[in-house]
Each structure stands twice: as structure tokens, then as C-alpha cells.
Chains A and B, each alone.
Chain A
Amino acid sequence: MSKVSENVLGDIRKNSIRPTCRLYFVVREILFWVFYVAILLFGAFIFAGILELLFGRNFEAPSLEIIFERFLSEVPLYWLLILVFFLFAGLYVNRRTKGSYRFQKRIILIGETLIVFLLGIILYFLEAGLFACEVLGK
């Protein structure tokens, strides 16, 4: 037996080291994914609120000029900052999941932005945008 293997096995026996149970790794991975999905949902909720401020409830498509004006006057800057924060928090959590390193960071960021926008549109049509405005104080 080599010196290193002798030391390693000696250390394992002496300190009664045992492999961490499989459940720990499974639960940790699940928690990261749950946390990730929650972050994306929060982001989508904020985006639904932004859509509510831009389009209201009359479903009439205003001109781009009006949308831009409303965007500047109605949407608080901190909402946008919170949205960006959630996107980067999502990236941070995603990087801790298994196999995430195989994707470029910008791909993950673009992907989750698209998911947030898509979920945000769905939530807006489900009238969650109104609720977002109430919760976020607008």
C-alpha cells in the first residue's frame, strides 16, 4: 500500500469519515431548482406588473410612442432594477445546479429573460399584473 493511500484510509478510519448520504445531494439539487423557478416566477410577476402599467386593462394596442411615454413616466426605475436583480440572481442559482457550467452565461441569461417575459405575458392575461401593481405600491 502506498504512503498516500495508507494515510487516506487511515484518516478515514481514524475520524470515522463516512460518505455524505445521497439524499443530501438530491435534496440540494431539488432546492436549487425550486429556488430558481421561484426567482423566475417573481421576475415574471414584476414583468406582468410592468405590462399592466403600459397597457392597462382595455387590451387596445397603443402606439409605440405612447408605450414609450408610459414606460418613461409610469414604470418606476426600481421595478426595472428588481427585475434585473432577479435575472442575475437566477443566473447565480442556475450556476449551482448540476451541468449548468456546460452553457455560456449569456445563453442562460437570454434564456431566462425569454422565460420571464413569456411567463410575465401569461400572468398579465391572468390579471396577476394588477396584483403586482398593488403589492409593489403602484
Chain B
Amino acid sequence: MKKNIISENEEISARSDEELVKLTLQNPDYYRVLVERYEEKLLRYIMRISASTREDGEDILQDVFVSAYKNLNGFDPDLKFSSWIYRITHNKVISHYRKTTARPKTVTYEGDNDLLNILEGESDLVADLEKKYTSGEVMDILSEMDERYREVLVLKFIEDKNYREISDILEKPMGTVATLISRAKKQFREKLEERSQTIIDK
């Protein structure tokens, strides 16, 4: 009996997101698997692109999952489920900050070393700077960046999304996504260089 339940759980976990969407429409209990599959990723994403605390992030996340559930019949099978749920998250973060006050000007990366390690490791981005900056400095630079540039950097280098997926998440043409990524890298480099110049001047 116990063995059957375990194998059934394993079987459900092995299902694709799209299959789970179909199953959820028949039985809401299957939605738990989708929620558990995405909650950590989406919570990190929310905290990376906004100035949310973990508690605020969880509130937004709950809103994301409820909204996704309501709109499950509107899920476009041409899209990946992950792109669709990231899009809902992106929109919820924006509307959350519209509701409260202004959108965040700076972002805290409490407990989030992945972003810094990956950006520091991104060879064509910082190779010329010989990795002489600390994580803290890279963190400061990211927090000074424009939100739209910060978000594409997060999606491209942290969430490891391709151009098509970023285009589907942000609802922008792929050409615009490519331009945004290129400008984001340029702004990141410029800010690193400014910082470097300031250190030399001192």
C-alpha cells in the first residue's frame, strides 16, 4: 500500500508541467506538485527583481499561484509553463509596487550569492576586470542598475532563460530582449569602470 503511494507520487513528480496543468484542471490536488516545483525558484526571482523581504515575497508568490490557478484555462500551450508562470510573477511584482508606492530603486540580495557568483563568473562581462571586485561591490553595482536591465540580467544569467523565453516572460520582441541584454551588460561594465576609476583616484 505504502509502496503504491510512493510510486504514484514518483510518477506524478515525473510528469511534465504541461501534463500537470491538464491534470490540475481535472483535480485541483495536482496543483500542489506545480506549486512545490516552482515556489523556491519564483520566490528567489521575486526577491532578485524587487526589494521584497522574504515575507513580502511569499505574499506576492501566493498571489501568483492563485492567479495562475484562476487563469489555468488561458494557459497557451505554445508557451512553456515556466515562461507563463514567470510572466505572471513579473506582472504581479509590477502591480504590487504600483499598489504600494514607487517601484524599488535599490535591491537587497540578502542570502543570494548565486547572482553574484554567476555575474562574476560571466567571462565576457568581467574578464577584463580581472575579478578584482568583491561580491559586495558587484552587489552595489547591480542595485544601482535600472530595473529593466537588472531583470534581464537575472533572467539570462541566473534563471538561465534563453531569448525566446525572456521574450515570452517580458512580452517583448526577441530583438528588444537582445538590445536590453546588450545594454544591461554595457551598463554593468560602465558602472564597474566608474568604480574602478574612483578607487584609482583615491
Q: Real complex partners, A and B?
A: yes
Interface residues of A (CB under 8 A from B): 1-5, 7-9, 11-13, 17-22, 24-25, 98-99, 101-104
Q: How far is the CB of A94 from chain B (nearest CB, A)?
A: 13
**Smallest CB-CB separation from A9: which chain B residue?**
B32
Which residues on the A side are within 8 Å of B43 (C-beta)? 4
- Of A3, A4, A5, A19, which contacts B73 at CB under 8 A? A19
In the complex, are the beta carbons of A17 and B69 less than 8 A apart?
yes
Q: How far is the CB of A29 from chain B (nearest CB, A)?
A: 9
- Measured in the bound complex, the distance between the Cα atoms of B34 and A2 in whole Å is 12
Q: Is the interface of B mostly helix, strand, loop or mixed?
A: helix
- Measured in the bound complex, the distance between the Cα atoms of B71 and A18 in whole Å is 9
In the complex, are the beta carbons of A101 and B76 less than 8 A apart?
no
In the complex, are the beta carbons of B31 and A9 less than 8 A apart?
yes
Q: When each residue 34-45 of chain B gets 1 if its CB lies under 8 Å from chain A and 0 otherwise, what string results?
A: 011001000100
Q: Is the interface of A mostly helix, strand, loop or mixed?
A: helix
> Across the A-B interface, how many residue pairs have beta carbons closer than 8 Å?
72
Interface-centre pick from A3, A4, A12, A17 (highest chain B CB count, 10 A)? A4
**Smallest CB-CB separation from B35: which chain A residue?**
A5
- Measured in the bound complex, the distance between the Cα atoms of B39 and A102 in whole Å is 28
| Apart from the given pairs A2-B36, A25-B73, 14 other A-B contacts in the complex at a CB distance below 8 Å | A4-B61, A4-B62, A8-B31, A8-B35, A8-B62, A9-B35, A19-B25, A19-B70, A20-B73, A22-B74, A99-B76, A101-B172, A101-B173, A102-B174
Q: How far is the CB of A131 from chain B (nearest CB, A)?
A: 38
Q: Which of B1-45 contact A (CB under 8 A)?
A: 25, 28-29, 31-32, 35-36, 39, 43
Interface presence of B81 (CB below 8 A): no
Given the known A-B contacts A4-B61, A12-B31, A104-B175, are A17 and B66 also in contact in the complex, defined by CB atoms under 8 Å?
yes
Given the known A-B contacts A20-B71, A22-B73, are A5 and B171 also in contact in the complex, defined by CB atoms under 8 Å?
no
- Measured in the bound complex, the distance between the Cα atoms of B82 and A40 in whole Å is 35
A and B contact pairs by CB, cutoff 8 A, 7 listed? A2-B36, A4-B61, A7-B62, A17-B66, A25-B73, A102-B173, A104-B176
- Measured in the bound complex, the distance between the Cα atoms of B66 and A5 in whole Å is 10
Interface presence of B157 (CB below 8 A): no
In the complex, are the beta carbons of B78 and A5 less than 8 A apart?
no
- Measured in the bound complex, the distance between the Cα atoms of B167 and A2 in whole Å is 31
Interface presence of B127 (CB below 8 A): no
- Of B70, B74, B167, B172, which contacts A17 at CB under 8 A? B70
Q: How far is the CB of A6 from chain B (nearest CB, A)?
A: 9
Q: How far is the CB of B162 from chain A (nearest CB, A)?
A: 14
Which residues on the B side are within 8 Å of A13 (C-beta)? 28
- Measured in the bound complex, the distance between the Cα atoms of B172 and A104 in whole Å is 8
Name the 7 nearest CB pairs between A and B, nearest first. Answer: A101-B171, A5-B35, A22-B73, A25-B74, A19-B72, A8-B65, A4-B39
